[in-house]
Structure 1
Amino acid sequence: MAEFIKIYKENPNQKAIDKVVKVLKNGGLVIYPTDTVYGLGCDITNNKALEKIAKIKGVKLEKAKFSFICNNLSHLSDYVKQIDTSTFKILKRALPGPYTFILPGSKNLPKVFKKKKTVGIRIPDNNITISLIENLGNPLVTTSIRDEDEILEYTTDPELIYEKWGKLVDIVIDGGYGDNQGSTIIDFTEGYPEVIREGKGSLEVL
């Protein structure tokens, strides 16, 4: 069963962050809070962990639509083809925040994602997530943990998340109640913004 770790988003405890980072570096899976719903994530550089997440989600890894969670825009050049100034300005205005931006993937994508032409980038406005990535030294690959319940798409209570997912992952972080609304997804692969899903993030950033 997973370890259940309480971390306060106002002031994340370094010892707890280090513990989670160690698990991530060893190929573990972690459920963590974001500025929208709770996410299931792993180290972007660990193929075995990526395979585990794909298996849990019931998808083939190379076809999986996972997002990359970064702590700032400096990681963009690692995974995304050069974007124009107007797109970059929108990203800078919106992030960190409840948005997923679909951008053209570069040749530097991790091996398992080499065939992907696009990549979803997120920088959540959540200190726990940002601290994890800063201490890990590279992005997380993430997917939302959805609910089968048709009315309640996302579980917001970390204790209920732990009950449901505790046997599938290594750590569940209790960072307080999550949101029940996903991020706003905006596709920039054609050079202009196309709203794929309107979620928590306001469209005024565009």
Structure 2
Amino acid sequence: MRVLIFGATGMVGQGVLRAALMDPGVEIVQTIGRTPTGAEDRKLRELIHPDLFHFAGLEQELSGFDACFFCLGVSSAGMAEEEYRRVTYDIAMAAAGTLSRLNPQMTFIFVSGAGTDSTEKGRLMWARVKGATENALMRLPFGASYMFRPGFIQPVHGARSKTELYRFLYMALRPLLPVLRRILPSYVLTTEELGLAMLRVARVGYARRVLETRDIRAVLTI
């Protein structure tokens, strides 16, 4: 399997990248982003591309992939809806529109979040934008597309959030995570579990196109 990862320098992307590099069934892992990942592996190729809104001229570099894991995302804190939509919806659709044309057989997996609003009419701005992004992605002519909606994500194996507030939150909750995983198993995943589940779905699919945390956990038992 040849896979493409967007957002490999983020916390979720770091977990997916590690899982893909360790998977013997993955032949090529290509990341695309504004900065290098810092990882080194014989399977790894890195495409540094500053303008993630436009992909003209990159057809050759973006062709021939079986799966794309789109892990790119930002916190909506302090952002106006128009700005958040631009960096969430517009970038995802620019990338996915190009990839669906170049790789129509591809499985495209988008990392969204628990609470995403599929109606696009709810009170929470970020949830509306994520919902609109999911809906638009599922209309594209991919071989298959899946929306992952994890809840709380525990970083493991050195994965680290770029957002200072999230880093503080993870450190504060660290002593409580074993308890949270026991009493709230439907809300807590590790970056490793998320990466492994995405690879599994890319290979064998899943009954639902939108996967909540309980579905993501169920994938790991298939």
Shared fold per TM-score greater than 0.5: no
What is the TM-score when the length of structure 1 is the normalising length? 0.25
What is the TM-score when the length of structure 2 is the normalising length? 0.24
Greater RCO, 1 or 2 (C-alpha within 8 Å, sep 6+): 1
